[in-house]
Amino acid sequence: MDSETKDNVTTYTVNANDTLVTSDNTLVTVNGGTLGEDKVRTYTLGLSTAVTDKLAQLSAKNADGRDGKLGSETDAIASAGIAKADGLNEETATYKVNALRHGEAGSVVYTDANGNRIVKATDGNYYKATEVNANGVVKTLLKNNGDSS
């Protein structure tokens, strides 16, 4: 058997009259194998549906409340209390875990004297959540080309 790797694809050439490739591994799929006019069998190896379904869940957004509803739904448990304004509604599970780890979310929500939620921007200062973009840059700094005056 000969092999050649190009652009992260390995091609195996088997010198045999009639060879079939199968897999009893539940994580990999083998498709193809029909003998072509050129007497060559071509196969496609891929991940099984079980594996691709699990990978798809990594970026899936989870429901925000115990009742399986988003905090923005009026009849949801998460529509009342601090969870409704924690900034994590409709985020991925990974994002939520990291926010909890870094102290950016959880049962403590930072507010100003008027009760408005505040967040830490990339400049290290705290601002009203509505005044900071999702990337952490203060909106007024963007409008003024970085000049905070």
Q: Is 119 exposed, middle or buried (0-12, 13-18, 19+ CB in 10 A)?
A: middle
| DSSP run (H or E) holding 4 | strand 2-6
Name 29's bridge partners. Answer: 46
Do the Cβ atoms of 87 and 129 come closer than 8 Å? yes
Question: What single letter denotes the amino acid at residue 73?
Answer: E
| pTM score, whole prediction | 0.31
The pLDDT tens digits of the residues spanning 134-146 come to 888 888 765 655 5
The pLDDT tens digits of the residues spanning 76-99 come to 766 666 566 666 767 777 888 888
Do the Cβ atoms of 62 and 93 come closer than 8 Å? yes
| Positions in the chain short of pLDDT 70 | 1, 13-25, 58-72, 77-87, 89, 106-107, 141-149
